[in-house]
Structure 1
Amino acid sequence: MLTHIVFFKLKDGSAENVANTAQVLRDMEGKIEVLKSIEVGIDVLHSERSYHIALITKFDSMEALEQYQVHPVHKKVIEHMLQVREASVSVDFES
């Protein structure tokens, strides 16, 4: 199993914008066959070093993650994120 985690800091950190963007991420659920699980969390601390959203996804293999990266549904999400994000960081690990 491969776990893919991404943290997003948005240009507009308003509650409405964060919630809308989190929903864009959640909407991938059930639409990408290689995506085994998805969890989207919104930061509750709002500290100076916090990011707004965490995305945690799981895949059976590196090949499945690569298929996810080019899937049309994920590509539409990437388009949205490129418009709204200020920064992002990720970690991928075997789990």
Structure 2
Amino acid sequence: MTTTRREFLTASAIAGAALASPIVLAKSTTATNSMPKLLHHVFFWLKNPESKEDLAKLIAGVKSLAAIETVRSIHVGVPASTEKREVVDNSYHVSELLGFDDVAGQDAYQVHPLHKKFVDEHQHLWSKVVVYDALAAD
């Protein structure tokens, strides 16, 4: 089977474009998907860790916080089955990672009626809460 010069160049161009596409995509998504300036990371330990019902209630409650106007991003999670290392603490049961534009946005979130309602309706589910707030370093 013989390949013409035109067929070879066409195939080469297509292959080159396919190889280059992930690199261009990675650069463009990095530039357009910047992280919020302030991250509010909360870890919850359930009073009844065996209760799937309590876990589901807490997760649903945390997800409801996305409706607060100053919340720019939300990630609700449970411990991942990653490599066990001395520096990894996966003893928590639920985590929330909320993004805010600034400290003022996070302050407004803390006193928002939906946040207060969440605490009132769900605090009986947890035995411990730890919060880490991080402001982006310039």
TM bucket normalised to smaller:
0.7 to 0.9
Q: What value does the CA root-mean-square deviation take over the aligned residues?
A: 1.8
Where in structure 1 do 4 or more consecutive aligned residues deviate above 4 Å? Answer: none
C-alpha contact 1:35 1:57 (8 A) present in aligned 2: yes
Q: Which structure would you say has the larger Rg?
A: 2
Structure-2 residue corresponding to 1:15: 52
C-alpha contact 1:7 1:90 (8 A) present in aligned 2: yes
Q: How much identity, in percent, do the aligned residues show?
A: 34
Aligned mates of 1:5, 1:69 — CA distance in 2:
13
**May I ask how many residue pairs the two structures share in their alignment?**
93
Please give the TM-score of this superposition, normalised by the length of structure 1. 0.88
C-alpha contact 1:22 1:42 (8 A) present in aligned 2: no
**Greater relative contact order (Cα 8 A, min sep 6): structure 1 or 2?**
1
Unaligned runs of 5+ in 1: none
Aligned mates of 2:103, 2:64 — CA distance in 1:
22
Which residue identity lines up with residue 94 of structure 1 in the other structure? L
Structure with a larger share of its residues in strand: 1
Structure with a larger share of its residues in helix: 2
Unaligned runs of 5+ in 2: 1-36, 82-88
Aligned mates of 1:49, 1:15 — CA distance in 2:
17
Aligned mates of 1:81, 1:58 — CA distance in 2:
21
